[in-house]
Amino acid sequence: MKILISGGNGQLARAVRGALPADCSVFTPDRRELDVSSFSVVEDYFARVRPELVIHTAALTDVDRCEKEPGLALLVNARGSRNIALACQGFNAEMVHISTNFIFNGKSKDFYREDSLPDPINIYGYSKLLAEFFVKELLKNYYIVRTSWLYGEEGNNFVKQMIGLACQRKLLCIVDDQWAAPSYTVDLAEGILRLAASKKYGIYNMTNKGYCSRFQWVKEIIRISEIDVELKAVSSDYFPTPAVRPAFTVLSNDLLEQKIGFRLRSWEEALKEYCQRSGNI
- Catalytic residue list: 124
| Contact (CB, 8 A) for 134 and 81 | yes
Distance CA 113, CA 16 (A): 25
β pairing state of 2-6 and 53-56: parallel
Cα distance between the two ends of the chain: 38
CA separation, residue 139 to residues 14, 82, 202, 207, 268 (Å): 25, 10, 10, 24, 36
Closest by Cα among 68, 66, 95, 69 to 82:
95
Handedness of CA 216, 217, 222, 228 (dihedral sign): negative
CA–CA distances in Å: residue 191 to residues 40, 99, 147, 272: 31, 14, 11, 19
